[in-house]
């Protein structure tokens, strides 16, 4: 009885918990339009030309290496028995993994009603497309005779030969091409209202024409928004299982084999978690400089970086669990090949790849994000992201080459040594990726304007203080 | 309907100062019994479909058909060659219906692919897009509809439309810059 009499007093003492706004400094709709369109409309800054020249040169050299490899043969790479997959497939898995963050942000966080996604989804989706483009290069050229790549497509031909639909490599073709196509459709659907904004602001005739064509005559009518929102929801709904399927299928390439360290059922969730982990690190790698250069700090706030850091911590912990469980299973299975393979991972010839890449970069460095001051310090965040970017490449190398270089018979053991073509093809894809991203921020709105506007309080038609919803006051207790 | 200057009237249109004002106005126009009218905003306004008296979008039905088509396409694509055209035992797996689990990934992927295409093309076709021009663009203030403007237009082809009644309704709901928008 005593507690019942004190209860009202307790409630009145409790201060209302206000949320920190997603767009800071009470910016309005028009400010958002100006600031985000301004990035596209202003003249290209000097740093852009300098950076673009460097990345485009690297990309061009990468394309030269591709041409050299195609015209001369796969022998230009360091592949040899027993390591038949090395940097090529490592790069493929690395890039396709990076792509996953974009779809996670645009689809899964949309379904989970995470409104903070609106500040970063556009550029993360663009990053996805460019990463998948870089990824698609490697399986395309590692087959050797690129001009026979059409054999991957199930078309009737005079030999009567059909692709083997029961092969994970064939599943991969379908998964990656579907993923790319659906990502393009999703991205473009999201772009239409923003292209209409740029069309209505365009000053020159050519811009008006081009933005006009790509904005397909969008006029922001609610009868159109009704179908648009349904389409967006459904695209998000079907992209969600899709993104989880893509890296699962990539992991099947390995998991369905009989090789120690590959032949494991933990691979699909382990690969998906690793993909999101590496992808978020790449999103932050691109967004942290972009928000500073284009003065977008009010839209991509410390809160956004904090949340992304938490996702890196979460997925990094999944990955850590998976790494640990692999060692446990190697011991618990009692399989001597499995045990040797994992002993070799830590103390074998590629020992430092594990110690630096997997242990330090992937398992330990994200643990800094348990601390708020680390998540709030741009330099710490950037350091961890760089560690994760590198660590995830090493992880794929360890899985692929680490699994291959010690064959069942010691007489078949070997090592992998990359050639300059291996190295420069990979660096070339880094150049292609950054060049495409730089072109993207110059020509298209890097933040989804029509979506960020929805998170402003005045976008809500029931906005404004009412009896049920007292005005939110800062109390110093809010989560910043 | 024509204006004294000889233009065909497309609509009577007004601008509103906020999403809230537009939302309240839409409810009034709906209750006044108009059918051919629309509101324009830089972003979808939550609850506007109900305020306009519109039901749930039936685009989802199109996407469902797309998904089913994709699933069937994959089934035909995989069973056709493996069962009828080119029956071979690979990986020790049979070529008939017992191999179906190995076909699931591609069935799934094509279901997703066809659904996505259905969603994309359905949203364009159902909205009558792409469209080169629209009479509402004849209003110079309308360029703010993709920035920070909130607009409402009652079309002249609405059976209830009269210039006076439409203007009065827009005025009474707090509409500003009320104007006639020409068809051409």
- Same domain, yes or no, for B70 and B37? no
Give the whole-angstrom CA distance, residue A255 versus residue A321.
18
- Per the domain annotation, does B1 fall within a domain? no
pLDDT of residue B62: 95
Q: Which of A268, A242, A283, A285 is nearest to A378 (CA)?
A: A285
The label of the residue with tokens 């009474």 reads B172
Q: Is residue B31 part of a domain?
A: yes
Q: Where are the domains of chain A?
A: 28-457
Q: Which of A146-155, A367-376, B45-54 has the lowest mean pLDDT?
A: A146-155
Same domain as B134, residue B47: yes
Tell whether the model's pLDDT for residue A127 goes beyond 60. yes
- Take residue A164 and report the two structure tokens written for it: 């083997």
Domain boundary among B102, B126, B150: B126
Main-chain phi, psi angles of B16, to 5 degrees: -120, 155
Is pLDDT above 90 for A378?
yes
Q: How many helical (H) and strand (E) elements, i.e. helices and strands, does chain B have?
A: 5, 4
Same domain, B64 and B117: yes
| A326 Cβ neighbours under 8 A, 6+ residues apart | A261, A264, A266, A342
- Crossing angle of helices A46-72 and A420-443, rounded to 10°: 140
Taking an 8 Å cut-off on Cβ atoms, the answer to whether A200 and B116 are in contact is no
The pLDDT of residue B75 is above 70: yes
pLDDT at A165 over 90: no
* Residue whose entry in the numeric block shows the structure tokens 């209830």: B160
Same domain, B121 and B63: yes
Tokens at residue B126, please?
A: 């159902």
- Please report the pLDDT score of residue B86 as a whole number: 80
A251 pLDDT tier (thresholds 50, 70, 90): very high
- Helix or strand run (H / E) with residue A376: helix A372-376
Are residues A216 and B130, on separate chains, in Cβ contact within 8 Å?
yes
Residue B112 is predicted with a pLDDT of: 96
Query: For the residues of A190-254, what is the DSSP string, one character each?
Result: HHHHHHHHHHHH--SHHHHHHHHHHTTT---BHHHHHHHHHHHHHHHHHHHHHHHHHHHHHHHHH
For residues B85 and B70, state if they share a domain: yes
Residue B3 lies in a domain: no
Report the distance separating Cα A199 and Cα A33, nearest Å.
Answer: 12
Same domain, B75 and B26: no
Any residues with CB less than 8 A from the CB of B85 and at least 6 apart, and which?
A160, A162
Task: Pick the closest to residue A412 from A67, A81, A182, A132 (CA basis).
Answer: A81
* Cα–chain center distance at B77: 33
ω into B130 cis (within 30 of 0): yes
Contact B146 A193 (CB under 8 A): yes
| Closest residue to B124, CB basis, from A166, A186, A216 | A216
ipTM: 0.93
User: Is the per-residue pLDDT at A470 higher than 80?
Assistant: no
Which of A174, A196, A198, A208 would best serve as a mutation to test chain B binding (most B beta carbons within 10 A)?
A174
Mutation choice for B interface testing from A151, A197, A209, A226 by most B CBs within 10 A? A226
- Same domain for B44 and B68, yes or no, is no
Beta bridge mates, A83: A80
Question: How many folded domains does chain B comprise?
Answer: 2
- The reported pLDDT for the residue numbered B104 is 93
Structural domain harbouring B162: 9-55+129-182
Residue-level pLDDT at A465: 52
Residues A139-159 have a mean pLDDT of 85
- Percent of chain A surpassing pLDDT 90: 64
pLDDT of residue A270: 93
Residues 6+ apart with CB under 8 A from A54: none
Window from A19-23, A71-75, A199-203, A414-418 with minimum mean pLDDT: A19-23
**A384-408 confidence digits (pLDDT tens):** 999 999 999 999 999 999 989 998 8
Q: Cβ distance A284 to A432 under 8 Å?
A: no
Domain end, chosen from B99, B126, B153, is at: B126
Closest CB from A219, A238, A252 relative to B134: A219
Residue A127 CA to residue A95 CA, distance in Å, equals 10
In tens, the pLDDT along A186-209 reads 999 999 999 999 999 988 999 999
Give the pLDDT confidence of A356-369 residue by residue, as tens digits.
Answer: 999 999 999 999 99
- Percent of chain B scoring above 90 in pLDDT: 40
CATH architecture of the domain covering A28-457: Up-down Bundle (1.20)
Nearest to A31 by CA among A21, A22, A23: A23
**Residues of chain B contacting residue A33, judged by C-beta atoms under 8 Å apart:** 42, 146-148
CB contact under 8 A, A174 and B109: yes
């Amino acid at each position: 009885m005593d507690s019942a009499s004190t209860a009202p007093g307790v409630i009145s003492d409790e201060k209302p918990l206000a949320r920190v706004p997603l767009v800071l400094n009470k910016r309005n709709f028009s400010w958002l339009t100006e600031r985000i369109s301004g990035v596209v409309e202003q003249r290209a800054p000097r740093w852009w030309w300098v950076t673009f020249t460097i990345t485009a040169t690297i990309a061009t050299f990468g394309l030269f290496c591709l041409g050299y490899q195609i015209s001369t043969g796969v022998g230009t790479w360091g592949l040899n028995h027993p390591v038949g997959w090395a940097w090529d497939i490592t790069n493929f898995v690395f890039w396709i993994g990076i792509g996953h963050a974009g779809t996670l942000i645009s689809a899964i966080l949309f379904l989970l009603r995470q409104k903070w996604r609106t500040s970063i989804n556009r550029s993360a989706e663009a990053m996805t497309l460019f990463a998948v483009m870089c990824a698609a290069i490697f399986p395309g050229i590692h087959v050797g005779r690129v001009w026979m790549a059409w054999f991957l497509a199930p078309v009737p031909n005079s030999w009567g030969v059909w692709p083997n639909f029961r092969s994970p490599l064939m599943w991969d073709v379908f998964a990656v091409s579907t993923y790319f196509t659906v990502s393009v459709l999703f991205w473009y659907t999201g772009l239409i209202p923003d292209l209409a904004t740029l069309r209505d602001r365009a000053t020159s005739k050519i811009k008006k024409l081009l933005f006009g064509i790509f904005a397909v005559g969008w006029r922001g009518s609610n009868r159109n928004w009704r179908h648009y929102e349904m389409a967006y929801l459904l695209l998000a709904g079907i992209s969600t299982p899709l993104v989880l399927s893509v890296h699962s299928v990539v992991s099947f390439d390995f998991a369905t084999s009989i090789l120690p360290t590959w032949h494991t059922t933990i691979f699909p969730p382990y690969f998906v978690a690793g993909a999101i982990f590496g992808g978020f690190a790449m999103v932050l790698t691109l967004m942290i400089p972009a928000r500073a250069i284009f003065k977008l700090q009010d839209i991509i706030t410390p809160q956004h970086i904090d949340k992304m850091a938490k996702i890196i911590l979460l997925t990094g912990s999944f990955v850590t669990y998976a790494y640990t469980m692999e060692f446990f299973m190697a011991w618990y299975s009692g399989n001597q090949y499995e045990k040797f393979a994992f002993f070799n991972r830590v103390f074998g010839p590629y020992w430092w790849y594990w110690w630096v890449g997997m242990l330090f970069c992937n398992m330990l460095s994200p643990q800094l994000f348990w601390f708020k001051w680390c998540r709030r310090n741009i330099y710490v965040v950037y350091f961890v992201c760089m560690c994760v970017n590198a660590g995830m490449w090493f992880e794929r190398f360890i899985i692929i080459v680490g699994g291959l270089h010690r064959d069942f018979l010691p007489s078949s053991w070997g090592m992998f040594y990359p050639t300059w073509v291996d190295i420069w093809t990979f660096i070339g894809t880094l150049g292609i990726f950054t060049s495409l991203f730089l072109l993207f921020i110059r020509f298209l709105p890097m933040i989804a304007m029509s979506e960020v506007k929805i998170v402003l309080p005045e976008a809500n038609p029931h906005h404004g203080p009412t009896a049920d919803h007292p005005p939110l006051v800062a109390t110093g207790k809010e989560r910043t | 309907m024509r204006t004294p200057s000889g233009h065909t009237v497309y609509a009577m249109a007004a601008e509103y100062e906020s999403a809230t004002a537009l939302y309240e106005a839409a409810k009034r126009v709906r209750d006044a019994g108009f059918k051919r009218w629309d509101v324009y905003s830089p972003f979808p306004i939550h609850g506007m479909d109900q305020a306009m008296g519109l039901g749930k979008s039936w685009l989802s039905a199109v996407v469902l058909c797309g998904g089913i088509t994709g699933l069937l396409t994959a089934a035909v694509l995989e069973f056709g060659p493996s069962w009828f055209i080119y029956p071979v035992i690979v990986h020790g797996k049979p070529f008939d219906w017992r191999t179906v689990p190995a076909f699931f990934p591609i069935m799934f992927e094509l279901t997703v692919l066809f659904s996505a295409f259905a969603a994309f093309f359905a949203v364009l076709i159902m909205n009558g897009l792409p469209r080169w021009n629209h009479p509402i663009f004849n209003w110079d203030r309308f360029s703010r509809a993709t920035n920070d403007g909130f607009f409402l237009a009652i079309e002249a082809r609405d059976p209830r439309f009269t210039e006076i009644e439409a203007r009065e309704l827009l005025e009474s709901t707090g509409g500003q810059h009320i104007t006639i928008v020409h068809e051409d």
